[in-house]
Amino acid sequence: MGTTTTTRIRMSDGALLTLAQWLSPAFPVGGFAWSHGLEAAVVSGRVTEAGAVRDWIGAVIARGSGRADAVLLAAAMKDGADVEALADLARALAASRERWAETRAQGTAFAETVHALTGADVPRTALPVALGVAARGLGLPAPLVAGFYLQAFAANLVSAAVRFVPLGQTEGQRVLAELRPLILRVAAEAVETDPGEIASSVFGADLAAMAHETQEVRIFRS
């Protein structure tokens, strides 16, 4: 009994470590180059300090593309999921050209790296869809995978804010910690949401992403 339990724990730990590797900043998807429109919000003076960063990222996760991505990811993890339809939906949900370029470029880089490491055939499409397909073989619950994804999503935006607002490193980590309850809630809700029910109501963040396309001086690609 003891040996069996230990083996199961190790197998689960291995899957968790794989997921953590995929969503680590060290995994070569180029997430550091994208701000998801946050740069435009900073330039316009709408986001200038830690509280505003937390509220901006929190809104995107709660009612915008963060929630949409989590729903798409959870749907892609299901056996028999229509991956092509989910990829088309991801493109339709992108509020701007740069938003689509962001998720497609990262998803393609993710798929190519996973294929190079494991030989797995992962679709080269929007990141949450590609990740969902790849995560099927991990045997991890969808809420956990969605939670890890949203944590990485938020961490990337916090990192952008630390560099560009700017924020102190400790302030940035405090913002990320304060977002944790929201991340867990949205991850759990995403698994129970049909992709056809996805909606977004974060117009300010979407408009910021659109404005970034014509911003003359830019550090980030979105």
Q: What is the pLDDT of residues 22-41, one digit of tens each?
A: 999 999 999 999 899 999 99
Angle between helices 127-135 and 97-118 (to 10 degrees): 30
Q: Is residue 6 part of a domain?
A: no
User: What's the pTM?
Assistant: 0.93
**Residues 192, 181: Cα–Cα separation, whole Å:** 18
**Per-residue pLDDT band at 123 (split at 50, 70, 90):** very high
Provide the mean pLDDT of the chain.
Answer: 93
* Among candidate residues 107, 80, 78, 104, the one with its CA nearest the CA of residue 92: 104
**Residue 16 in domain:** no
220 located within any domain: no
The C-alpha atoms of residue 135 and residue 15 are separated, in whole angstroms, by 9
77-103 pLDDT, tens digit each: 999 999 999 999 999 999 999 999 999
Domains contained in the chain, number: 1
CATH of the domain at 82: 1.10.4190.10
pLDDT recorded at residue 12: 65
Tell me if 1 is assigned to some domain: no
Per-residue tokens: 32: 């550091």
pLDDT at 51 over 50: yes
Domain with 76, as residue range(s), is 52-212
CA-wise closest residue to 61 among 145, 164, 155: 155
User: Residue 81 CB: number of other CB atoms within 10 A?
Assistant: 18
Q: What is the CA radius of gyration of the chain?
A: 17
Inside any domain, residue 90: yes
Residue 17 lies in a domain: no
Domain assignment present for 80: yes
Kindly state whether residue 35 falls inside one of the protein's structural domains. no
